[in-house]
Amino acid sequence: MRIFVGDRLGIIKCVSIENTSVSFVNLKPNRNKEIIEMDFIDQNETQLIAGSANGIVDIYDLNKFEITKSINTNIDSVFSFKYLKSSNRVIVCNKKGDVKIQSLEEQIVEEEEEEKEKEKNFQEYKANTPIATFSVDRAQQTLYSCGGKDNLIKVWDINTGKNVFSCQNLPLDDLGLRIPIWDRSHDWKHNSDNTFVVGTSYGGIRIFDTRVKKAPVKSRDILEFPVNKVTNSIDENYTFIGDTTGRTFKVDLRKIQSVNSYRESVGSIRGMSEHHSGDYLGICGLDRFLIVYDLKLVKSMMKVYLKTQMNCCLFSKQGFNTKVETEKKNKKKNQVTNDSESDDEVSGSSSSAEENSSSEQSTSSSSGDEDDSSENSEGSSDDIDRYWNSLGVINDEESDLVSDESDEQKKGEKVTQKKKRRRKKK
């Protein structure tokens, strides 16, 4: 399983989740070519398209890891980029409200061309400013929406450029004050071109349905910090949100309530991608870490430091490679067995050495004892007596003398006691 990451230096990295190895799709850092968003062109995932902040769109061949095509959209300070698979076009937008839709089939090089050809190749629109969030509907890719601070989200038709829906604010609060507007991120549901979820800078979540009404269908403030990223789950009942402090939450849209929280990251969340199976979630941000979570176990299964601040991440559709995992486990087992065998060999050699040394010591001690016994036999009996006296041992003759002296002392003590008693009576 692979996940691609685009950073603020214009470098795209490919990370293998099984062994956490990192390979570079391009290794030419350029701050003006900051990667904004990425997507796969074909279903086989052999080509990757990436949009940069300077308005250049590059197509990479993932087999050769080189650029095969580069297109200049002539828009500066791009902050949002989307690839339209249904029509093989790209749509870019900057904070000034300039929106451009350009086809990838033919690139305009000559300055003097007919108006018909220009209309076929690209389209330009002007959106209301300021813009802080931009998105395209996932189902049919015929609508785009944008909004920002004091600018409610509006939905536009990509083909005609007409405004088809405009959001309305919530009603006044209990004090009769207007609810502040600052839409920071939003995302459309996977199988619907009518419903999208909005995250605000005030920690709120709002759900809009273009079929029902212009005001939010559901709304609730659930976070203390601004919502920096919203990504809808494959399961339509859930969405993932990331705030500016690095926390990520899984939210149940039916109650607008947090179900799970993921707190491994410590930097602002900038990129978020869910695997097509719905089992894994990858996040990246300003803390320079790429983290992949297992959504079933609700814990991180990989955390890699990539040295640069990241803006986006993209999961490949490949499944989890069990062969690599089994190879890793087998390698670990072999290492453990080899280490245990080496430890046994070392312990066996040390024990044999200890046995040899002990046998040598026993032989040397036995020979020394024989020499000492011969020397002691040659010694005099006086030395033996002195030795026993030093230990407090008394011979039989001396013990008899000591016993006689002790008996005489006892008799004398008895006589003196009798004399004392007689004196007291008198």
Domain count, the chain: 2
- Asked if residue 213 is part of any domain, the answer here is yes
Residue 362 tokens read as 């026993």
- Asked if residue 368 is part of any domain, the answer here is no
Give the separation between CA 137 and CA 118, rounded to whole angstroms.
25
Same domain, 190 and 293: yes
- Asked if residue 23 is part of any domain, the answer here is yes
- Nearest C-alpha neighbor of 102 from the set 120, 125, 78: 120
Cα–chain center distance at 331: 24
Same domain, 294 and 400: no
Q: Token pair 């000559």 is at which residue?
A: 110
Quick check: 400 pLDDT over 60? no
Question: Which of the listed residues 279, 300, 323 is the one where a domain comes to its end?
Answer: 323
Same domain, 314 and 403: no
Residue 144 tokens read as 């785009």
Quick check: 374 pLDDT over 80? no
Give the separation between CA 141 and CA 280, rounded to whole angstroms.
25
The answer to whether residues 197 and 232 touch, using CB atoms and an 8 Å cutoff, is yes
Same domain, 284 and 410: no
Q: In the prediction, which pLDDT does 372 show?
A: 46
Q: Convert the pLDDT of each residue in 403-415 to its tens digit.
A: 555 566 666 777 7
Overall average pLDDT of the 129-137 stretch: 93
Quick check: 390 pLDDT over 90? no
Same domain, 220 and 310: yes
Q: In the prediction, which pLDDT does 336 show?
A: 55
Question: Which of the listed residues 323, 349, 373 is the one where a domain comes to its end?
Answer: 323
Same domain, 25 and 142: yes
Write the secondary structure of 228-281 as one string of H (helix), E (strand) and C (coil): EEEEECCCCCEEEEEECCCCEEEEECCCCEEEEEECCCCCCEEEEEECCCCCEE
Give the separation between CA 223 and CA 243, rounded to whole angstroms.
8
Question: Which of the listed residues 259, 294, 323 is the one where a domain comes to its end?
Answer: 323
**Residue 138, domain CATH:** 2.130.10.10
Indicate the pTM of the whole model: 0.72
Q: Convert the pLDDT of each residue in 67-105 to its tens digit.
A: 999 999 988 889 999 999 989 999 999 988 899 999 987
Domain of residue 77 covers 2-106+120-323
